[in-house]
Each structure stands twice: as C-alpha cells, then as structure tokens.
C-alpha cells in the first residue's frame, strides 16, 4: 500500500459517492424544511446529528481499507444472525427509501422539462436511464459523473446561501428546539430530520463496497489513511451543504407566511424559487440543472447501492465463505436486484395515494428506527480481531460511538412509546 499524493488521487472518489448519496432528500427537502419551519432553531439538531452519527459512516471505508473486505463480511464474522439482520433490514427498507428518492427526482424532472407524463412513467424512465448508465459505465462512469455533479451543486448552493445571510434572523438560533405543544417541533419531524441527516446508516455498507470497487478500478489498494481522508472530505462537504440548505430555508421561507407544499410538483417549484429569488431569475436554468442532477446523482447511488449490497450479502450467505474475494463485480444477483427494486419503485409510485412529504417522512423515520441496530453492527465489525489494532477507532471515537448509540436508541424508544401514548 502507498500513501503518496498520486496514490491518493487514484483512490479518491468513494467519499464523494457517499456524499452524493447523502446530499439528496435529507438536504434538499429536510434541511430546507427545517429552516423554513424554525429558522435556525434546528441548527443544533443538524449539527448534533452529523457529530453523533459520524463514526458509523466512517467505519465503512475504515473496515474495507483495513481488511480488504466489505462490512458485509464484517457482519458475517460477527455471526450469521448479524448478516441476516442486515439483509432483512435492507430488503424491507429498500423499496421505501428508493421510492422516496426516485419520486422527488421525477417531480424535478417533470418541472425541468415541462413533462405532462404520469409519475409512474417518469419514474420508470429515471430507473431505466440510470440502470443503463450503470450497465454501460459501471463504477468508472459513476465516479466521474458524481464529481462533476457535486461541484455544480456546491457552487450554486453556497453562493445562494451566502447572498441571503444578511437577512438572517439569528434570534431563532438554538442548540436544542422545543418539542411538542402547539408552538413546538413535532417529534415525528425531528426524527425524520435526524433519520437521514446526513443519511441512513445503510450507506456505510455501500461505502465499503465502493472502496473495494475503486481499488479494482484503480489497480491499487488504498491505505486506511487515504480511505479515511477521502471519506472525511465527503463528510465535511455534506455538513456544509446541510447548513447551506438550512440557511436558504431560514432566510427565504421562515417568517414569510409561506410554507412548503406537501405536494411534490409544488414543492419542486418552491425549491427552485429559493435560489432564483436570491440569485435572480436568470439563474433558473442553472439552478434547476444543479438540483435535478443532484437528485439524479443520489438516485443513481441508491439504485446502485441496494443491489450491490444485496448481491454481496447473498454471495457470502450462499457460499459460506468469508474473506478472500467474494467478488466486487456486478453479478447476476446485482442486476436482478436492480430490476426488481426498479419495478417495485414504479409500482409503489403508481399506487401511492399520499404526498411526497408523507413518503419522505415515513422513509426517514424508518431509517431512524433501524439506525441503532446497524450502528451497533458497524461498531462490532470495526473493533473485531480481523481489524489490526492500529486501524481500529481510538478511545474518543469509541466514546462518541457509544454515546450516539445511546441517543439513537433512546429517541427510538421515546418515539415508539409516543405512538402508543402520545406525548
């Protein structure tokens, strides 16, 4: 393994794929809604979520770089029960999460091109288009596209947020919000915000798989140090973008007398107006390109991530072999999983009678409720004997991990109790 700069740039990319998967619904929708609802009153929640959830995402590339295996193998080494638990969570949440993301992407696509086609048809087009891109370009094309897309979004969003800062009402800033009551934040929205802030724990597994795929594509195995630097660059970027979207919601929407529509088409139009109202109408085409491509990048990472994880998991389960090479290529199970999830997504969208906001809140709350289980598995894997002592997390990171698990588990219990006996 090498650690010089040329080797790092060859291995640079999985962290940005992670960022692309994260900077989607959690940022475009939930962060912006948080700012519109409470000004900067939820800034502390966004910050704490990014801090306490950080270790569990980092453990993906850390484990892959340290062992040459993915977290799937890490779960299998804990015990077959752990791998089956992860597989069960993935299979049960995959359709819900992918549908929420493809749904928003489809609304933005209709807005951008003025399409009058039905939502199922647009969603089917999105799934087919991204599936073909993955088939033709595999990991290399995915890697290149994400870097270009994120650069475009980052520039437009940071400039828009910076322009609105002079009108910010900092009196709303708070570390912890008031929850419940007629004037407080609803617990359900709070958990929905944290559920995908910055993302769901599922993508820690995807990140470990992308690290291995990048190794294959570059012909070099990245060092633990290089993998962590790559990931941290992507992670810091997602945190900055979360606060940029929060700022846009707080400065443009909060206190304006307007609220985001729960209907997907209207929400997409409002989202674009957040930019054009600050940067000028002439920026409309640039903005909608940035927002649409961002959701497309999130959608393509999700459409790739779920079947990639399912493929790897089933290979380990059926072969009974842990370690060596379970295979980083896109096998038959990958493509069957991709097509099945795409069909399921289109069917759900065709049958879904609620709103975009309802679908997104449901998906993010589900992710929040399963987070403690996935976080625990990640912690167990990265502290297992196959990870060399020098590559395991230090005392500070371990303390942060256990604190994060306690908080996530505690809030999950509170939410479940509140369903039985409303607060």
The whole-number pLDDT of residue 133 equals 83
Query: What's the number of CA atoms in the CB half-sphere (13 Å) around residue 170?
Result: 2
Does residue 327 have a pLDDT over 60? Answer: no
Structure token digits, residue 238: 């997602």
Most confident of 105-109, 210-214, 221-225, 380-384: 380-384
Does residue 179 have a pLDDT over 80? Answer: no
pLDDT over 70 percentage in the chain: 90
Structure token digits, residue 38: 């409470």
The whole-number pLDDT of residue 63 equals 96
Q: Which residue has the higher pLDDT, 328 or 306?
A: 306
Q: Which residues contact 200 (CB under 8 A, 6 or more apart)?
A: 93, 97, 364, 367, 371
Chain segment 197-235, per-residue pLDDT in tens:
998 888 899 999 988 888 887 777 888 998 999 899 999
Does residue 419 have a pLDDT over 80? Answer: no
* Burial (CB count <10 Å: 0-12, 13-18, 19+), residue 91: middle
What is the average per-residue pLDDT within 231-254? Answer: 91
Lowest mean pLDDT among 3-12, 102-111, 268-277, 399-408: 3-12
pLDDT over 90 percentage in the chain: 36
The mean pLDDT value of the chain amounts to 85
The whole-number pLDDT of residue 139 equals 61
Q: Cα(56)–Cα(22) distance, rounded to whole angstroms? A: 14
Number of C-beta neighbours around residue 370 at 10 A = 22
Does residue 107 have a pLDDT over 60? Answer: yes
Domains, in order of start, for the chain: 5-170+187-420 (1.20.1740.10)
Report the residue count for the chain.
Answer: 423
Does residue 3 have a pLDDT over 60? Answer: no
Q: Cα(246)–Cα(32) distance, rounded to whole angstroms? A: 5
Q: Which residues contact 349 (CB under 8 A, 6 or more apart)?
A: 99, 102, 103, 106, 119, 120, 123
pTM of the full structure:
0.87
């Amino acid at each position: 393994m090498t650690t010089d700069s040329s080797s790092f740039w060859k291995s640079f990319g999985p962290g940005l794929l992670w960022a692309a998967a994260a900077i989607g619904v959690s940022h475009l929708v939930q962060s912006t809604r948080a700012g519109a609802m409470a000004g900067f009153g939820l800034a502390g929640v966004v910050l704490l979520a990014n801090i306490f959830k950080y270790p569990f995402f980092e453990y993906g590339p850390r484990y892959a770089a340290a062992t040459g295996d993915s977290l799937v193998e890490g779960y299998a080494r804990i015990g077959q029960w752990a791998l089956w638990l992860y597989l069960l969570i993935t299979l049960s949440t995959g359709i819900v999460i992918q549908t929420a993301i493809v749904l928003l992407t489809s609304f933005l696509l209709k807005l951008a091109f003025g399409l009058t086609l039905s939502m199922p048809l647009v969603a089917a087009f999105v799934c087919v288009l991204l599936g073909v891109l993955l088939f033709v370009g595999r990991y290399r094309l995915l890697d290149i596209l994400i870097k270009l897309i994120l650069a475009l979004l980052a520039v437009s969003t940071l400039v828009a947020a910076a322009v609105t800062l002079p009108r910010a009402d900092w009196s709303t800033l708070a570390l912890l919000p008031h929850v419940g009551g007629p004037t407080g934040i609803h617990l359900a929205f709070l958990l929905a915000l944290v559920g995908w802030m910055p993302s769901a724990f599922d993508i820690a597994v995807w990140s470990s798989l992308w690290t291995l795929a990048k190794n294959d594509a570059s012909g070099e195995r990245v060092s633990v140090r290089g993998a962590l630097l790559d990931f941290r660059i992507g992670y810091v970027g997602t945190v900055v973008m979360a606060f940029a979207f929060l700022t846009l919601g707080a400065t443009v929407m909060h206190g304006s007398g307007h609220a985001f529509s729960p209907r997907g088409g209207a929400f997409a139009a409002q989202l674009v107006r957040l930019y054009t109202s600050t940067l000028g109408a002439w920026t409309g085409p640039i903005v909608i390109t940035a927002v649409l491509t961002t959701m497309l990048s999130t959608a393509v990472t999700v459409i790739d991530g779920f079947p990639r994880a399912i493929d790897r998991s089933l290979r380990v389960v059926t072969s009974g072999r842990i370690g060596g090479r379970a295979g980083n290529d896109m096998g038959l199970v990958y493509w069957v999983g991709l097509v099945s999830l795409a069909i399921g997504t289109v069917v759900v969208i065709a049958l879904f009678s609620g709103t975009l906001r309802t679908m997104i809140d449901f998906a993010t709350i589900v992710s929040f409720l399963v987070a403690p289980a996935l976080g625990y598995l990640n912690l167990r894997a990265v502290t297992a004997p196959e990870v060399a002592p020098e590559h395991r997390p230090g005392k500070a990171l371990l303390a942060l991990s256990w604190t994060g698990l306690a908080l996530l588990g505690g809030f999950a219990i509170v939410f479940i109790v509140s369903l039985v006996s409303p607060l």
